[in-house]
Amino acid sequence: MRPGDGLGPKAAGAMAAIWRRIALFQRVLLPLAVAVVFILIWEYGTKLAKVSPLLFAPPSAVWKSLELSFPILVQQSLPTLKETLLGFALASLLGVTLGTALVLSKRVRQALYPHILLFQLIPKVALAPLFIVWLGIGPTSRLSFAVFMAFFPVVIATMTGLLSADRNIVRLCTSLTATPWQTFMSVRVPYAMPHLFAGLKIAVTMAIIGVIVGEFVTAQEGLGYIIMFASSADDTALVFAAIGMLCAVGLTLYGAVALVEMLIQRRLGVTITSSEF
């Protein structure tokens, strides 16, 4: 039972507005409160338990390290960001192209789809050393590895999405003498959007993972290199600072994809949303 039940319509409306505001506050404030409590426990827990700041740096030390090494962290996040963006863009382009080709030809789909599904399932991370054998330890190998990691989710999402269009609507368009191109653009593409963006969100995470694993293995530059370097130098404060930086990069890119999704959905008037995973 909500407060406001059994009141007059006007009072009930006002109560409902207040109730909505409380609900909004709860949705924003509760997670924030959890984060603050967690940080306080981390800060004072490590101090009370006398955990070595080398082993597990408290938030204040992480903040200090972030301030101190901010220029280096920014400088090192640039190659990571550049390779991630480029890898994601290439993977999306290639993935959407191949996904569309798979929808257009049934024979191509029959021949390729099981292989693509297999590649989606196998632990592709293990192939990172092979990219170094082929392309050296420079940015090219990290970029290609990122494309390789991010490509398959996009293919599968594009294909599933384009095939998910309501059959009755496709049939209706055909009987209304729409050309295949018109049907494709005005029915299949809008239907594909939620799937496509679910795939793109996975791909953006995968592209970062690809670049970071590449940086772990090649150890030349980038945030992944900083993380490896700092952890071998027993500097957990710097490790946390670099991870924080990387999370900021990751969440920004993910947010950008989600934003584009929202804009496109608003334009298309599609209300189906993709799930978060």
Residue 268 within binding range of other proteins, rule CB under 8 A: no
Which 104-143 positions form the footprint of other proteins (CB under 8 A)?
A: 107, 110-115, 118, 121-123, 125-130, 132-134
Q: How many Cβ atoms sit within 10 Å of the Cβ of residue 31? A: 10
Choose the stretch contacting other proteins; rule: CB under 8 A; options: 32-40, 93-101, 159-167, 190-198: 32-40
Q: Rank residues 10 and 50 by Cβ distance to other proteins and give the closer one.
A: 50
Q: What string marks each residue from 139 to 168 as x (binds other proteins by CB under 8 A) or -?
A: ------------------------------
Q: Rank residues 162 and 230 by Cβ distance to other proteins and give the closer one.
A: 230
Residue 62 within binding range of other proteins, rule CB under 8 A: no
- Which residues of this chain interact with other proteins, rule CB under 8 A? 26-27, 30-31, 33-35, 55-56, 107, 110-115, 118, 121-123, 125-130, 132-134, 201, 205, 208-209, 212-213, 216-217, 223-224, 227-228, 231-232, 234, 236, 239, 242-243, 246-247, 250-251, 254, 275-277
